[in-house]
Structures are given as structure tokens and as C-alpha cells.
Amino acid sequence: MNAIQSFWITEGSAANGGWVNKRFECIGWSLSYFLLKKNFGAVQLYCNSEGRQFLVDVLGLDYAVIHNNLDEIDDLTKKWWSLAKMHTYATQDAPFVHADGDVFWFDLPDKDFLESDVFAQSIEMDEPLYRYALASIKKHIPDYPDYLNFNKAALAVNVGIVGGKKYELFKEHYTEAVNFLKNNQEIIDNNPDDFKLLYIFVEQCLLLCLANYNQIKFKFLKKPVFRTNFDDVINFNRISPVTKTPGYLHILGSHRFRIHHCNLIEFWLHRFWPEQLEKINALCPAIENTAEDISIFLNPEFEKLLPHARWIIDKPSVALRYPFMRTTILFGIDPNEWSSEQLSNHPESERLIDCITFEKSRIHVLNDLLAETSDALMYQHLESHLEFCAKTYEEMANLKFQLNPSKILTSTYNWYNDLGYTTQKYWHNLIIDSQKICFQEFLLSETECRLMELMNESMSIEDLSEAWSSSYATDNNQRIKTQIHETLKELIAHQLVTVS
């Protein structure tokens, strides 16, 4: 079976492929390629000249065959970038598997999967964007293809990996997509809001429509995804007891912008191919994000967008320059210019003082992170995390868990977004990368907040389970223990909880 990847970029593009910065894009592509090569023996690349220059000439990825056919891409494909990938699928004349550059396939599945007619990563169910796109097509395009009626639920296939031996389906898929976009270009251009996500629809939903129409059944590597819940393919904590690796990961969409995920990708490249990481670090001695201005954050209108736009702030230097960002946004106050008496007499003094305390703690924790962070310490910690994740529930019966005070950041109010939790505190996490270039802040989930709130001493999973049952109504004690086990993996990964 031919293992292939595709990469097409515009000349002079400064984009980072959705990663935090160019360094992590280099790390991601390198790990994805090396894992494919390990599993399939050789990998082919379909690219344009700029793509080849980046992956081959700069990163030195030794693809067995390099096809520069994407240099001849037409204007339609430039407009709908997913067509470049679909064109790559369509050129195949033998069984193949295509893997995106953000797919990390540590352990291959059984032979039956790879020998099936067509396969993909997972099926996506009840995803609003496909429903909206399909409704827009039926609303604006009177003569839409009949095969779209063979997917009334707007299901789609996620093509993080895709392929099979019925490669004729992919040729038909590309032809149909091109014809559909060309024939309806004027309608699509006149209704941009209704068709803004059509590039995803034609790649993933249209493919399943055609398969259903032709009575070709996909086999899927991972369980179905319901409403963009991709936990199954972004879970670094699910470690195979045999190989001691995560199996299969697809760090898709905005997940590539999360430093914690980036750090873990770096860890795995360091673990298996450290010489490639050394090469990347030599190539990218101090690559930083280009955006310095955070004016978008200093407008109350954008408060709810803070977590989604840039995860608050993406550089330590910027965070330190704006130590009281929230008090400026929400209260219009610089605490350095107000006396204690003035703060106490403020109409919202309780919320204001909590916010100031939170912001001071945040800067203190960030300074500690800057002082103690190094790649060696990060790798050492993640090795310990890996060892913990590989343990069974029974193997952890005698372990004790406690909070790590140096990383604790809490507030009485939610200073991150407008979500309301039932916990008494909102627990936050600050993350920095090994090069001290990128910095992000996260609000923990309500489940994580609940568990942190219960940990007032060194406690076992059994202790935590009893405390949980006393605090929160539950009718399934084993499920709670499993949930605590999984939550501990995440908290340990973030160094918020330590093990003894």
C-alpha cells in the first residue's frame, strides 16, 4: 500500500499551518512523516515547489517519491484549498493511504482495516456545519446532484487518514466536486455567508454521499464523532500497554494552537528522533509569533472571544506588559493607581479585589514558569507522565496524589469566559513551551475543578472517589473512579497534581 502526504502552500506564505508558530509546524510535519515511514517503509509526497522546498529542502524529510504536480493547480483549487488534497487522492491508481501532516500514527491497526475497500479516520455525526451547508445548497441551488439526497443526516467522513483499494471512488469524488463548484460558482459567490465552509463540505460530506450512492461502505479507524467532540483522536493520555505510545492522534483545527498539545508533539519527536528536533532548533533559534498587538483583548465587546481568539495571550513578554488585563477590560482600573481604600469602596469591590488577586497570582506563576522552564525538565516531566498513563487502574491503588502549590491559580469568579460552574473555585492553568516563546492560559473543565477542589491533602483514588461521592450525587461509583483516573492523567500532564 502506498503511503502518501500532500502539501501545497503559496509563495512567500508566512502562515504556520495552524500551529502556534513555525517551529511547531516543523516539529509536527517531521513527526507525522517519520511515523508514516516507520510503519509503511516509504512515503510519497504530492506538493508544489514551495511545499517541497519547506518539507524536503529545509526539513530534510526523505520522501521516497516527490510529485510536483500541485505546481499546476488552477484558480478554482487556489480558491477551495481542499481540492488540492482531493486531487492527490484522485491521481492514485493503486491502494493507498493519505495522512495529513497533523496526523501522528504511532501504531497501525490490523491488516483487515488497511485492506478494506475504503477507509477513513472516523465518521462525523450531527455536525452543524454540514447540516448548514447542505441546507444552503438545497436553498440556493435548484439543480443539485441527486447523490446529496443519500445523506439526509449530513454525515461526513473525517479524512485525517483516508484511502483504500477502491481508488476509483476518489477519482469520481474529485470530478464531482470540481464540476459542482464550477457549475455553481456564481451562486456560491453571491451567497458567501451561506457557503463559507463549503470547502470542508465538498471534501468530507460529499465523499460520504458518493460512497452511499455507489453502495460502498467505509471502514473507520476510530469511533464516531458527535458534534465536533474529537476527544478520541486528541487524547495523549491513552497509552497502549504494549507499545507504550498513544496509538493514533490527529491534532486537528484549533488544537494545533494549544501549547500543551504542541509540547507533547515535541516530546514524542525528541523521544524517537532527537536528531531531527536538534536540526529544527538550529533552523529556528527564536521563531516567535508575528502578532504583537493585543488591542482586540482590551475591548469589553470581545470578552467572550478571549479564549477562542488567542487563548488570552501567546507571548510571556506581552503577558508581563499587561499584568492587569482583566481589570482594565472589565473595570477600567489600573490597581497601581488606586489605593486600598478606593478599591474597598468600589461598587463591585468583592469582584474587583478577587480579579486583582487573580491577576497578581497569574503573573507570579508565569514568572516562576519562566525561571524554571527548560526542554530537559519538560521531557523529564512528560516521561513521568507517560509512565503514569501506562499504569492500569489496579497499579495505582497505592499511589497518593496532591496539589502542586507552585502551579495553583484560582479565583472565586470566572475571569476567563461566561461559563458557570457549580464548584466554589475556578481553577486555571498556565502553560509555556520549552523555548519560553509561547504562553497560554486555560480554564480547567468543571470536572477538573471539582477534583482539584476535593484535594486538600495527599489522597488516593479511593479517597478521592469517596470525597466525590460525598460532595456530588452519583449512582455509579466505578464510573466515578474511572473519571477520576482519566482526569488525574490530564492534571498530572499539566503539573497541577503530583504523585507520591
Write out pLDDT tens, residues 92-132.
999 999 999 999 999 999 889 999 999 999 999 988 889 89
Q: What share of the chain is helix, strand, coil (3-state, %, to 5)?
A: 50, 15, 35
Q: Alpha-carbon Rg of the chain, whole angstroms?
A: 25
Write out pLDDT tens, residues 315-339.
888 888 888 888 887 888 889 899 9
| Amino acid at residue number 291 | A
Write out pLDDT tens, residues 150-163.
776 779 999 999 99
Q: Assess contact for 392 and 241: CB atoms under 8 A.
A: yes
Give the lowest-confidence range in 166-175, 323-332, 454-463.
323-332
Give the lowest-confidence range in 54-68, 107-121, 296-310, 317-331.
296-310
Q: Is the pLDDT of residue 307 over 60?
A: no
Q: How far apart (Å, rounded) are the C-alpha atoms in residues 381 and 384? A: 5
> Residue ranges of the domains in the chain?
2-283, 295-499
Q: Is 293 exposed, middle or buried (0-12, 13-18, 19+ CB in 10 A)?
A: exposed
pLDDT category, 27, cuts 50, 70, 90? very high
Query: How large a percentage of the chain has pLDDT more than 90?
Result: 64
Q: Is the pLDDT of residue 438 over 90?
A: no
Per-chain mean pLDDT for the chain: 88
Q: How far apart (Å, rounded) are the C-alpha atoms in residues 500 and 496? A: 14
Q: How far apart (Å, rounded) are the C-alpha atoms in residues 261 and 493? A: 10
Residue 306 has what pLDDT? 43
Residue 12 has what pLDDT? 56
- Nearest 5°: phi and psi at 367? -60, -40
Write out pLDDT tens, residues 216-237.
999 999 999 988 889 999 999 9
Which class would CATH give 2-283? Answer: alpha beta
Residue 13 has what pLDDT? 60
Residue 303, C-beta contacts closer than 8 angstroms, at least 6 positions apart: 329, 330, 417, 418
Residue 476 has what pLDDT? 77
Q: Is the pLDDT of residue 448 over 90?
A: yes
